[in-house]
Structure 1
Amino acid sequence: MTKATKLLTALPQPQRQRLMSLAREVSFPEDTRIFESGGTADRFWVIRSGAVSLDQQVTSARRVTVASLGAGDLLGWSWLFPPYVWDFGAEAFSQVRAYEFDAQPVRNLSEEDPQLGLVLVRTVAEILAHRLEMTRGKLLEQYTLHRRSVP
């Protein structure tokens, strides 16, 4: 498995500074729902400290954790792709501190600075590829465990 790409460290310094000019610091108490699948994806976060679990609702009463995120990780990518709807839910697993970005100003900045936009899209694509690889591994693990438990 490849190492996870970190959004802020992947951006060249000039683009990182421009992006960070749009950031604000936020925090989420432990067990806070940050967003729900199907909701409007109008922002994203870069986690500074703490842990967040990404989950998928599989039944009305059951959520399955598909990824765990920590310091330096990008939380939320649906803001970048129409129709700007969250594909997963997210919950603070512990106290979380993060940089929060409103999506529209970041999309505007990406249009004004095509180099930043290209680097941002490529970096998010690398992050998505890594998460897809992690999710695939978890699904295979769950499938294997389920197959072993079936008589």
Structure 2
Amino acid sequence: MSTMTMLLSGLAPKARDRLLRQSRPVRFPAGTRIFREWQRADRFWVIESGRVDLDEHRPGQGSVLVETLLPGDLLGCSGMTPPHHWRCGASAITEVHALEFDGQAVTELRTRDASVDEALSAAVAAALTRRLLT
């Protein structure tokens, strides 16, 4: 089950609408550097189409591929958790279409709506667990 499906299926229609109002569609051309490791993280995305490579800098090795994200995957979990800095970098490998969520607006929504908080927490946990196991 994709992150987007998991996230939205766990919400009542009104809560789903409130969450989706915090998003906007975005497009990243192939080759775009979406964010860099240790920069401030203030948003996150759900990939609708395309591929994104996550990378991190390792001393003596340079930039190392961590994972490739695909449609339905969550990009930028760091935008939802303190200290709000990217823990890796991300680049669009192909043209990417995604829903971009404002991190601060979603954080405020999570404090007001427990169902949104629970659904996002479950989606982030599932995404991070899958990444740890692959």
Same fold (TM over 0.5): yes
Aligned partner of 1:10 in structure 2 is 6
Whole-angstrom CA distance in 2 between matches of 1:47 and 1:106? 17
Paired-residue identity, %: 43
Compute the displacement of 1:53 (Å).
0.2
Larger Rg over CA atoms: 1
**Secondary structure of 2:71 counterpart:** coil
Contact 1:8–1:16 (CA under 8 A) maintained in structure 2: no
Higher RCO, Cα 8 Å, sep 6+: 2
Q: Where do residues 104-119 of structure 1 align in structure 2 (5 Å cutoff)?
A: 104-119=104-119
Q: Show structure 1 runs of 5+ residues with no match.
A: 135-151
**Secondary structure of 1:85 counterpart:** coil
Aligned partner of 2:39 in structure 1 is 39
Compute the displacement of 1:21 (Å).
1.4
**How many matched pairs?**
130
Q: Which residue identity does 2:24 align to in structure 1?
A: R
Aligned partner of 2:56 in structure 1 is 56
Cα deviation 1:111-148 (Å, max 9, x = unaligned): 110121012112211110110111xxxxxxxxxxxxxx
Compute the displacement of 1:38 (Å).
0.3
Identify which range, 7-16 or 80-89, moves more after superposition. 7-16
Q: Which residue identity does 1:8 align to in structure 2?
A: M
Compute the displacement of 1:59 (Å).
4.0
Aligned partner of 2:28 in structure 1 is 28
Q: Show structure 2 runs of 5+ residues with no match.
A: none
**CA-atom RMSD in angstroms:** 1.5
Cα deviation 1:30-69 (Å, max 9, x = unaligned): 1110000100010001111110000011247721111101
**Secondary structure of 1:18 counterpart:** helix
**Secondary structure of 2:108 counterpart:** helix
